[in-house]
Amino acid sequence: MRRALTDDLELDDDRRRIDIDAVHDYLSNESYWARGRTRADVEQTVRDAARVIGLYDGARQVGFARVISDGVRVSHLCDVYVLAGYRGRGLGVELVREAVDNGPHSKLPWTLATKDAHGLYRRFGFSAPNTRIMQRPGSP
């Protein structure tokens, strides 16, 4: 999948295009959920993910989402981010839409963990059973 967005931005799920250094930098230094994660760990999670989606401004990676799934019964959305200079333009919505609604796991039940983006994920059918975990039931 490769999908053009506005302003010459693009979503792409080609794992080979993921800039591991850029993802590692954001997750390890800026995120609250993966602070200190090693580059080797980031490389492994990208390699072993069911699906990864990059958000690109030309050759520069400016966002990311990762899906963990067995492909049959469950999917988990994680490591979703958009760089600060690109926020407020609906790009996080596009990343989540591509991962959850448009991907091969769209009919499966979903989970995710978040402290701060409940409104974004509610738009895609996730609910909050507590303050950190959100779930989305699968389709029949």
Question: Does residue 135 belong to any structural domain of this protein?
Answer: no
Q: Which residues contact 44 (CB under 8 A, 6 or more apart)?
A: none
- Rounded to two decimals, what is the model's pTM? 0.88
The total domain count for the chain is: 1
The pLDDT tens digits for 18-77 are: 999 999 999 999 999 999 999 999 999 999 999 999 999 999 999 999 999 999 999 999
What integer pLDDT is reported at residue 89 of this predicted model?
A: 95
Instruction: Give me the pLDDT at residue 40, please.
Output: 98
What local confidence, expressed as pLDDT, does residue 136 receive?
82
The verdict on residue 126 lying in a domain is no
Q: Is residue 58 part of a domain?
A: yes
Domain that holds residue 35: 2-106
Q: Is 49 part of a structural domain of the chain?
A: yes
CATH code of the domain in which 61 resides: 3.40.630.30
Identify whether 136 is part of a domain.
no
Residue 138's pLDDT band, with cuts at 50, 70 and 90, is confident
> Is position 64 within any domain?
yes
Region of 87 on the Ramachandran plot (φ > 0 left; ψ -120 to 50 alpha; else beta)? beta
**Selection from 71, 73, 76, 79 nearest residue 20 by Cα:** 79
Name the DSSP class of 9.
E
Burial of 111 (0-12, 13-18, 19+ CB in 10 A): middle
pLDDT digits (tens, 9 = 90+) for 111-129: 888 888 888 888 888 886 6
DSSP 8-state class, residue 110: E
Query: In this structure, is residue 128 part of a structural domain?
Result: no
Q: What pLDDT was estimated at residue 128?
A: 65
Q: Is residue 124 part of a domain?
A: no
The token pair that represents 70 in the structure block: 């067995």
